[in-house]
Structures are given as C-alpha cells and as structure tokens.
Amino acid sequence: MEKLLIHAWVVHKQNGKYFLPYTHWIYLQQIVKYYSHICLISPVKKIADGGDDKLFSLEEFTNLSVYELPNSNYSYAGAIKHIGSYYNAYKRLHKHFDKVYVRYPVPFGWLSKLFFKDADRTIHFVGYPLEVTKLNPELSTFKKNLLLFLFRPEHSLYVWACKGAKVFTNGHHIKENLCKQGVNATAVISSTLVESDFYFDEYKQIDTANVKLLHIGYLRKWKNIDVIIKAFKLLLADKPGATLTIVGEGECKEQLKSLAVQLQIADKVDFKPHASRRDELTGYLRTHDIFCFSSISEGSPRVILEAMANGINVLSSRVGSLPFIFTHKVDIAFADNNEQDFYNKLIKITADAGLMASIRANAFDKAQQFTIAAFIRTIFNQVPVAEEQPVYEI
C-alpha cells in the first residue's frame, strides 16, 4: 500500500495526543483505510486540560502521524511568517511519501508541486476566498481590493501547482472560475454522511400554522442570515405561531440577536450554541420543519445534505453546487437571496402539505447518493465498492 501526505487541517493537541473536529475526523476515518501510512502536515493548536467534547481523538488511527507546524490561529496573514517551517516540512517529508493531498486554501499548499513535482498530487478546492472577499458587504472597496491584492500571489501559485495535479472543486462555480485560469478540474459534492445519519419519519405531520424554521451553520456575514430573520418577521404576520431556531457561532451572532430585538421578534427567534455532537445536530434537524439557507457564496454546502438526510424540507438560495444537483419544487425549494422572496416561498410551500411531503421524500432519496465513503473514493481514486452509490460529478 502507498503512503500519503495530507496538508489540510489544523490539529488540536492535549497531553501529547492529537484531535480533530468531527467533520475532519470522519474524513480521516475513511482515508486511512487505503494507505499503509498517512502523515498530516498541520498547524497544531494546544488545548487546555479538561478535554473538549467537540474534538475526536486520532489515537485509533495506528497508521497515522502528525508533522507539527506553528499555529497561526487559522489566519493566512499569521502563517506568512512561518513559511520557512512549511518549506522545511515538505523538504523533509516528500521523499517518504508516494502521494500528496492538499486542500486549498491552506497556506502554501503549492509547495507540493515544488517537491513532489510530477508525482501523484491532488489539490482540492474546498472554498474560494477571492469570491468571498468580493461579495463581503461589510468590506469597503478599498479593503476588498487590498485583501485581493495581497492574496492573489498565493492563489496564482496554487494555479501553477494545479498543472500536473488532479484537481477537484466543491461546487461547479469554483470549477468554472478555475477553467478561466486554464485549470481542468472535476466538481464533486462534499459529504460527511454515514449510514447512521439517515432518518426519515414517513408519518411526520407538519403544523404549518406553527411551522418551525431552522438554520444551522457559522454566523458569518456572507451567510446572509439577516435575510432569514427578516423573512421570518414577514411570515409572523401570517403565521404568528411560527418559530425560528438559529444554531451556531460566529462574528455576526450579536448583530443578528440585535436585529431580532430591533424587529421585535426576539421572543420568537431562539439562538443556540454550535452543535458540537452529531446527536445534537440530528436532533435539531429531526424536530423542525424547514431548513433555511441564504448564503451568497458556497462550494457544496454539506449542511444541506445533512438536512435532507434527516427528512427536513430545505429552502435555500441558489448557491454553489445546489442548482446543478437539485430541482426547485422537486427535491428542494429555491428562493432569490432577499427577504421578500424567502417569505413568498415559505408561504407557497407551507400552503401545500402534499408538496412539502413530496419534496422532503425526494430529497431524502437523493441524499442517499452522497455518502462520505463514495466521496472519499472519488477524491483518492479508489476502486468503488459495489453496494455504494457513486458521487455525482457535475
């Protein structure tokens, strides 16, 4: 079996032991099956004694090692001063590994081409910071241009590194952006779904007069969550018994809370902390009626698949890979990214119980095609297992 070097994630460390958040840990659980040895080249963040139930231990992966890099607190700007550490890591490790997998936009992943040259390299674009920066409404034109100017050299080096590598993107629009830059990429649908994640209550009765709306995710500006809150305000005029639950943390949380107060609906909007455990996440999804998603920039949002796998209706902006995979009023409901259209769509779908039942059933069936096992095999070019459904390529 081959040996794989992964440059992808920040690793947490406590008392000499390493940990990852569930989303990354579950990927690793699949990847380790295919290689004799895997090394994570990762910034390491030390955590205080007492443990963290949001993190999962790497101890069970006996064929895994970690090459520690300095922690830069998830900041590209903070990583620049450590570029020598990244260079030395690649220089030291490249002779001992057959393949390398890099997740853009981790800092300096383009070094993989410098040392692995024409060896088996994979670059996986899981986001696109240039687009996020351009669309961020909180940034002034000057600050946007400055940030874009400072990041473009890094991005250009990644584009250079794509030559001779297998390139994957989370979402079709990232693939299209790279195509314009001369990069041939395959768009895939990112998934963390395992068998135990799937649940469908075929007898679920939705009380549309008291409909329960839900949003789960990072509370960041480009997620546009204020659109959901404002649409909910409009909905309350028709359905005063409706509720909205917002689960997650982020820099916009206090601003969103203030918006709910300003709109005089704070008693109807329940803010919950980040759902760190899988049972918490599925608990929310299985006890609400409509999952609302209003982001303006995404690749292939995993949370949409997680919602569908748990049998909840989804109302979303047309973002990332979603319009290429799902069809309006068949397995999803799409809305323009403004509060008026979100409100209009909420009124329309809650007025038709048969439509809601059909959409969520179709979505559940579609979600079963997107398992983490199939996704990992696609990225790492492994032979498909017969009973697994393939990942869609778009």
192-203 pLDDT, tens digit each: 999 999 999 999
Query: The tokens of 178 are what?
Result: 């790279």
May I ask the CATH class of domain 195-367? alpha beta
300, 128 in Cβ contact below 8 A?
A: no
Rounded to an integer, what distance in angstroms lies between the CA atom of residue 15 and that of residue 52?
A: 12
Q: What is the pLDDT of residues 57-103, one digit of tens each?
A: 999 999 999 999 999 987 888 999 999 999 999 999 999 999 999 99
Q: Is 95 exposed, middle or buried, given 0-12, 13-18 or 19+ CB atoms closer than 10 A?
A: exposed
Q: In terms of pLDDT, which residue wins out, 53 or 211?
A: 211
**Do 195-367 and 3-192+373-379 fall under one CATH topology?**
yes
Query: 143 vs 55, 152, 169, 358, 381, CA distance in Å?
Result: 35, 14, 27, 46, 41
| Cβ–Cβ < 8 Å for 348, 356 | no
Residue written as token pair 């902006």? 317
Structure tokens at 264: 């005089």
Helix (H, G, I), strand (E, B) or coil at 277: coil
pTM attached to this predicted model: 0.85
Report how far residue 6's alpha carbon sits from residue 18's, in angstroms, rounded to the nearest whole number. Answer: 15
What amino acid is encoded at 79 in this protein? A
For the stretch 43-53, pLDDT in tens is: 999 987 655 66
Per-residue b or e along 193-222, where b marks 16 or more CB atoms closer than 10 Å to that residue's CB: beeebbebeeeeebebeebbbbbbbbbbbb
Tens of pLDDT, residues 236-275: 999 999 999 999 999 999 999 999 999 999 999 999 999 8
pLDDT of res. 53: 61
pLDDT value of position 150: 93
pLDDT confidence of 117, banded at 50, 70, 90? confident
**What distance in Å separates the CA atoms of residue 391 and residue 394, rounded to the nearest whole number?**
10
The pLDDT of residue 312 is above 80: yes
Q: How far is CA 192 from CA 155, 189, 197, 370, 387, in A?
A: 27, 10, 9, 8, 18
State what percent of residues in the chain have pLDDT above 90.
Answer: 79
> Higher pLDDT residue, 391 or 352?
352
Dihedral, CA atoms, 172, 177, 182, 188, nearest 10 degrees?
Answer: -20
pLDDT at 375 over 60: yes
Q: Are 56 and 82 in contact (CB under 8 A)?
A: no
HEC-encoded secondary structure of 176-243: HHHHCCCCCCEEECCCCCCHHHCCCCCCCCCCHHHCEEEEECCCCHHHCHHHHHHHHHHHHHHCCCCE
The CATH superfamily assigned to 3-192+373-379 is Glycogen Phosphorylase B; (3.40.50.2000)
Q: Where are the domains of the chain?
A: 3-192+373-379, 195-367
Closest CA to 319 of 132, 147, 141, 102: 132
Per DSSP, the three-state class of 318 is: coil
Looking at every residue in the chain, the average pLDDT score rounds to 92
